[in-house]
Structure 1
Amino acid sequence: MKRGLFSLLAVFVLVVAGCSSSSSSNSSPSSSSEGKSDPTAVTIATGGTGGVYYPLGGGIAEILESELDITATAQVTGASVENMQLLSKGDVQVSFTQNDIADYAVNGTEVFKEKLNGISAISTLYPEIIQLVVAADSDINSIEDLKGKKVSVGAPGSGNEANSKQILKAAGLSYDDIEEELKSYADSADSFKDGLIDAMFVTSGVPNASVSDIAVTKGVRVVSLDDDVISKLKEEYPFFIDEVVPKGSYDGQEEDAKTVAVLAALTVNSDLSEDFVYKLTKAIYENLDTLGAKHDKGKEIKLDTALEGLTIPVHPGAEKYFKEKGISK
């Protein structure tokens, strides 16, 4: 009798457990063939509202909501460095960054004291040109002329700040030689217009919205980097490429300015499934016109150059999409 009762109880427990498991499975997010759950909401880490990342992030959010039927949000952040930290912790699923900052994060170098895990690449996007912006009538004509000046070097811990330090170093300068201001693009623009700073470093696409805003009220120009500074930068940091800010890019910019650039990149959390990232990558690259409508830099994003300049692993989902299109590293 006892043996029969125990058998009945065992069967009851198994049935209840099976129902519970089935119910739990039905209420969870959709799962891929790899057993990973696909998110129903995605947060995209961008940058400040005055930069290029934010409007493009808004464009990607629109694409994902339309094509993947999920909730997507562009989040204002301190940009590249902070974005890598947020992505590694899983606080966001997609992030904009610079290709050099992504490499530093994955390898634990430069601004990162230890390696960050969970970061994979989707693609590079467009050149991010480093611009030293001054008033059109400023007496600052070289990096060396920044000595003793009030200079915005970017948001604290941003890729912009990292590039500012690298350029100052290549010219034999440091924060000891200037009065550094750690400000976002928008805050830097306000300070510039109010005469509170003499110059600002900007790592961004051209035109940058904040710089254009300044130029409307007071002309600006981008200072050319000396050849020896450019040579030292490229020798120590192979991510830098030669670039030019064309005359006419901003009101007051009457001559071309020689400078350097890194590449903007789009990254994802490595834990996302191959299937989900494949769909995400496909959605973005088959709707590039949406990004072009959000900002001129969106028009520079091309399928055939998507994997150029990447030194970190590409997510298998993105790799699958690009392989189908005949694109490989």
Structure 2
Amino acid sequence: MLNIKTKITLTLTSLLLLCQTSIAEELRIGTASQGGAFYPVGQAVSTLVSTHAQGLEMVPVVTQGSVQNPKLVNSGEIDVGITNNNLAVLANKGIGAYKRDGVMELRAIGTLHSSVLHMITRADSDIKTVADLKGKKLALGPAGGGTIPFARQILELHDLTLKDITPSFLSYADGFSQLSDGNVDATFALSGYPASAVMQARVNKDLKFIQFAPGALDKALLQFPNYNHVTVAKDVYDMQQEGHALGVSNILFVRADFDEEKAYKITKAVYSNMDEFRQLNAHAKQIIVENSKKLKIPLHPGVARFHNE
């Protein structure tokens, strides 16, 4: 039998442990609009961190996407962000979309899935290549998202600019819904695949990939070495033809002054539990953890510690 003093001690100890485990620091991860791949990936990362990183909880935040996330991390409005490799380089140099923001000090936590530029129209459309988009209504994802600078480059390869089309800046989900309803002629979306917004639109309408004009894809790969050619099989979206798209690697990142211990815990929570990550999100099946060492921006010191182990 336990005496009263022992019972009181055990009770106080239990309460202390309960308080220690229930008080966790909340971190915010910037994702993108719903309907793309960043938000569900951010949800999965949040679950892994909240489950496996002691003392930390993470919540996904809807943002405008890969262009805006470096700005939000840099300003401290979010703690962790998802963007693509190329934009992180531009942010650290203070050029391109970040010219007004100045040089940033971003550091990588690790690699994620690749995003491909979905260039989609309805199957019965007379649009065959990007060159046919002149004068058309084109949904380009949310303002501040990574689709827009990507789209500008693709249009320029076909001697077009945003002035040659009528742009709509909608979430991926809304953009593809508008495509199904016939309110826009085509939709661009920089997203992992399969993208839920495309899958949903495919339920209501037959779709097809808009192809590159002859020679334009090879020219793009020469001009933009950070991009790669991705072939999207016909059965991914149940289309009549496979799609040929440009892809780019995505990354998880923080500011250079982010706490080293927290960076270590986040990295370990995510990349030591890849089986669970793959169960939470299908895009995680594309992740090769070792590729984190090949990113175009430096790894955070806390991340380097994880890999050195």
TM-score (norm 2): 0.88
> SS state of the match for residue 36, structure 2?
coil
Map Cα deviations across residues 87-125 of structure 1 (whole Å, 9 max, x no partner). 001111111101111111111122111434241111221
SS class of match (1:248) = helix
Structure 2, unaligned stretches of length 5 or more?
1-19
Deviation at 1:273, TM superposition (A): 2.1
CA contact (8 A) 1:150 1:178 kept: yes
Aligned position for 1:48: 33
Deviations 1:269-320 (A, max 9, x none): 2222222211210110112233322332111112222233x21121111122
Matched residue SS, 1:306? helix
Distance 1:244 1:227 in 2: 16
1:202 aligns with 2:189: yes
1:87 aligns with 2:73: yes
Cα deviations by residue, 1:17-63 (Å, 9 ceiling, x for unpaired): xxxxxxxxxxxxx9xxxxxxxx8111000011111111111111111
Q: Which of 151, 156, 160 is equivalent to 2:147? A: 160
Larger radius of gyration: 1
Give 1:41's aligned amino acid: E
Could you say what secondary structure the match of 2:97 adopts?
A: coil
Counterpart for residue 66 of structure 1: 51
Deviations 1:243-284 (A, max 9, x none): 111111113x12222221111111112222222211210110
Shift of 1:227: 4.7
Cα deviation, residue 71, structure 1: 2.3
2:117 matches 1:127: no
Give the Cα separation in 2 of the matches to 1:116 and 1:93: 18
Alpha-carbon separation, structure 2, partners of 1:225 and 1:86: 33
Equivalents in 1 of 2:172, 2:217: separation in Å? 24
Residue in structure 1 matched with residue 96 of structure 2 by the alignment:
110
- Worse-superposed segment, 291-300 or 145-154: 291-300
Contact preservation (8 Å) 1:44, 1:74: yes
Match of 2:201 in 1: 214
Superposed, 1:1-329 pairs within 5 Å as 40-69=25-54, 70-113=56-99, 114-251=101-238, 253-308=239-294, 310-324=295-309
> 4+ residue stretches of structure 1 with deviation over 6 A?
none
For residues 281 and 120 of structure 2, the distance between their equivalents in structure 1, rounded to whole angstroms, comes to: 21
Q: What amino acid sits opposite 2:153 in the alignment?
A: Q
CA distance in 1, matches of 2:281, 2:212: 26
Conserved? CA contact 1:44–1:75, under 8 Å: yes
Q: Distance in 1 between matches of 2:62 and 2:276?
A: 20
Deviates more, 1:156-165 or 1:285-294: 285-294
- 1:162 counterpart SS class: helix
Residues in 2 aligned to 1:190 and 1:260: alpha-carbon distance in whole angstroms: 23
Count of equivalent residues: 285
Cα contact 2:112–2:287 (8 A) shared by 1: yes
Q: Is the CA contact 2:32–2:145 (under 8 Å) kept in the aligned structure 1?
A: no
Look up the match of 2:14: none
DSSP 3-state at the match of 2:67? helix
Give the Cα–Cα distance (whole angstroms) in 2 for the partners of residues 294 and 192 of structure 1: 29
Over aligned residues, Cα RMSD in angstroms? 1.7
8 Å CA contact 2:108–2:254 kept in 1: the answer is: yes
CA distance in 2 between partners of 1:145 and 1:294 (Å): 39
- In the alignment, the residues of structure 1 paired with residue 27 and residue 244 of structure 2 have an alpha-carbon distance, to the nearest angstrom, of 38
Q: Distance in 2 between matches of 1:78 and 1:159?
A: 9
Shift of residue 72 of structure 1?
1.2
TM-score (norm: length of structure 1): 0.83
CA distance in 2, matches of 1:162, 1:90: 24
Instruction: Using the TM superposition, give the Cα deviation of residue 161 of structure 1 relative to its aligned residue in structure 2, in angstroms.
Output: 0.8
Structure 2 counterpart of 1:321, one-letter code: F
How many Å separate the matches in 2 of 1:154 and 1:298? 23
Query: Quick one: distance in 2 between partners of 1:143 and 1:248?
Result: 22
